[in-house]
Structure 1
């Protein structure tokens, strides 16, 4: 394991999820595990260091191939005494399009739990509002393999996952207002979370207001623009206005941008910020 940095542990606010089944509150700052390029050993070490400095929310997905290294890091964190038990953590994972079929949802979640070496998730999300032909997991999904999702039946299977105790909360990712309205029209258990791309330059105000009105926690991925990845850009991190604000307040650029998101109109702390693989120490003072 890499040397653990000697820094004060983080104190991170938490938010209660509306349809949680006996689960813990969700820390509003999380660490994302979508690494590009993917390096299993480096990711595991980064997660372990994140736990050591106070991160408690980790965002994974079957697509990311990150469930196995995350599970191994959790086991080592307990062994090293960074945490007393898995219950101190908030673990999110996601259902990929190839498994977004009524009869495949439960097996997919069980496989994620096996990879993570866990008995339950804190949050399970539908990764995209799209189904695909069952088979190899990959992104992007080829057009000839894309299928319309049976939202009603797939969501019913997600609700079963919660009822069976395999996840404490359920939600969605990359859903528009219209698609959320569709889910809400028939859901017995409404989605607790909608995870989408949000940054200071892509604020999604309409979606923010809609989710707030429906008591759905909006969570942000790529809040810093995912600089250094194939899909990311430098536009957020290199924004001159945000650099000036950071310097004026004696903060790093990353701190300024994450705090700007958390303080966005109508949101407050109702937002999680998975931070890719880097450790960002955010001061809320």
Structure 2
């Protein structure tokens, strides 16, 4: 499958507490088999799964067995530790979506594993629509609990539509383009690019200059000020902590539990060797106040 990583990058590690964004597809998986990720661990984060096309079977060590479908939010909390598998279903011929991670703050990063499913309603904004996954936008608030102030929304813009939205001035924002191009406060973004806006403005404008609908994900949050160290599937605070998570996973520790019902040949994805260098937390560069884009 074609996977494009827009967070983290050399240019920016986080947007609010959003610390990871993979954008994949659309890919014809009729012959390739699509997604088949054996049970693997997570710590210190929440995973946000959002599909545009296809279907993925989710199983985790909380005993949750759920389907990820277009327009339906699946949020898994892997604070203290969780394991899960992800497999595209047999009836899926095209797979297209995003996988996002949210870093948990110190007061919540050791909380028990959990899972939330939510189907956000379409909010009609003139010729455009919004679906609020997390946080508040256009007068609509998601019931899904987050542990830092966050915003996550899908925006679908009609051809030649322009959408000006009230946003929290203390948030930084990222706009990930799925179908484009779009203009973010006048800066052009093409497909698979993410535009960034630093805190300070209480409005942002997204415009579709094209003759076809455009689609973006709007991500936001207050700047995350705690150190974040990401390695493999773990989010931690220090090299030693990450190394400890790896050792526990390899030892089949109860920290991560066990995923039941996964039918693949590899029942536990082995962790790669630790790097030979000492891992350091990611640092976000200072903002310059201007819209920027990367992809």
TM-score normalized by structure 1? 0.30
Give 1 or 2: higher helix fraction. Answer: 1
